[in-house]
Amino acid sequence: MYTFRLNLKRISIWILLLTQILLILSYFFLQVAPTEPKSDIKISFLKSNDDVKDATATYHTLNTNIILKSVSTKHSYIDFNSSLCFKSGTDLISMKISKEINWKCKCLPGWHGNDCGQPEVLWRAMIASRKPIKIKGPRTFERRLIYFFEVDRYSEYVADIRINELGDIVDLFILYEDRGSNYLQSKLNNKFYKEYQDKILYIQDKREHLWKKVKTRLKNLRNDDIILSSNLNEIPNRDALTFLKFYDQWPQPIKFRFRWSVFGFFWMHPSRTIISGGACTVSFLKEMFNNKLSLLTDNKTLSSQVYKGIILGDLNHYGGWFCEYCNDPAQVVEFLASKPKNVINWDRIDKQKIDNSYIEDLIENGVYIDGKTQLIKARKYRDSYFAPRFVNEHNWRYDFLLTNFYSKLDYYEG
């Protein structure tokens, strides 16, 4: 009897032990992978049967179907009693500490409008146009912004600036280069612009063919989405672009008066500005330009009485920056050597003398590439439009574009 009780006790212990083992095994085999957190990225991609993509790449090609995400504008505004104020343009600190009831938004310097949502450059452009303009907004959802621009080996620094400057407000970058060139593709494969590669669609083609190909891949494109295009070395004003995303009934097409910087932001061309680039809605591009991007960036469009667009920027408040020859001297020499006579006026320049030393002397003394035209010195600490915001905030990264290292005076001041 004693032996029987002892065996029964042992059997019970073994049963408990086996039960515990089975429970542990069940936990590991039946464990469900945790759900991944939702991403804040404004673009999601649907894979189709024809998707063929390098597993190591994170940028996108024409083999990808693209869905642009709708984003509410409410996160960009704050309600003070009866006043709805744009956060970036409103003096929030002053309004929050005010003991009296806030019935009106208090705008920061450089911002205008009842909700402080109009940046200076846009506000001045509407006044200068002398046209009846009734801006409506803010919208419930942001317009999606699709930005086309070319990248080559001589525009790498400026391309890096504009992607970082505009990366949080542009929904899709269309970066392109000529057929037969793989410079940009090689850079992308090496994680160039890695923070925003999920927002980049890479294409090898001419600008005139791009929109026809791209729009077939945008599966939820809306007529009020914005198409933006500009040339090499141009950086549009981010505040102005943000306004276009948030408001309705602005004149179309939009052109940009860029500040004309040379060699870096420390020198300005005596002409001071250059008009270039263009922005409009998807429906305007189709109805007025027959889907031709080249007409959007053609300055002749504004001279036509058909269009009622405006130019963003004047001689003191710029619609962005055009940074010409913003490279190291060796790359400037290589760039000039690659251009034919019909692009560079070689009659005014002795091509034989163009070398690193020649370019360094021009940069030091503030002389244009022709060796004759005197440039205007820009003041870093006095000029609010000296350089794009991202450049100023990351001056260690673009120091050679902010300080003239070939001038001893500028070097020690910088």
Domains along the chain? 53-71+139-414 (3.90.550), 74-129 (no CATH)
Query: For the residues 382-405, what does the mean pLDDT come to?
Result: 93
Beta-bridged to residue 90, according to DSSP, are 107
Q: Decide if pLDDT at 288 tops 70.
A: yes
Percent pLDDT > 90 in the chain is 50
Q: Is the whole-model pTM more than 0.75?
A: yes
Cα angle vertex 166, ends 165, 169, to 5°? 140
Percent pLDDT > 70 in the chain is 80
Averaged pLDDT score across all residues of the chain? 83
Structure token pair of residue 9: 């006790």
**Number of Cβ atoms within 10 Å of the Cβ of 176:** 21
Residues whose CB falls within 8 Å of the CB of residue 240, separated by 6 or more in sequence, listed in order:
119, 121, 122, 254, 256, 312, 319, 320
User: Tell me, what's the pLDDT at 82?
Assistant: 72
Q: Decide if pLDDT at 41 tops 70.
A: no
Q: Decide if pLDDT at 28 tops 60.
A: no
Rounded Cα gap, residues 188 and 183, in angstroms: 9
Q: Which residue is it, tokens 């190591």? A: 56
Q: Decide if pLDDT at 204 tops 70.
A: yes
Q: Decide if pLDDT at 249 tops 80.
A: yes
Query: For the residues 206-231, what does the mean pLDDT come to?
Result: 91
Banded pLDDT at 53 (limits 50, 70, 90)? very low
Give tens-digit pLDDT for 127-167. 888 777 889 989 999 999 999 999 998 999 999 999 999 99
Rounded Cα gap, residues 146 and 302, in angstroms: 21
Q: Decide if pLDDT at 179 tops 90.
A: no
Q: Decide if pLDDT at 299 tops 60.
A: yes
Rounded Cα gap, residues 245 and 256, in angstroms: 16
Pick 370 or 87 by higher pLDDT.
Answer: 87
Query: For the residues 13-32, what does the mean pLDDT come to?
Result: 60
User: Tell me, what's the pLDDT at 386?
Assistant: 95
User: Tell me, what's the pLDDT at 323?
Assistant: 96
Q: Decide if pLDDT at 32 tops 50.
A: no
User: Tell me, what's the pLDDT at 97?
Assistant: 78
Check: CB of residue 258 under 8 Å from CB of residue 277.
yes
User: Tell me, what's the pLDDT at 73?
Assistant: 93
Check: CB of residue 53 under 8 Å from CB of residue 185.
no
Structure token pair of residue 33: 């992978």
Q: Decide if pLDDT at 169 tops 50.
A: yes
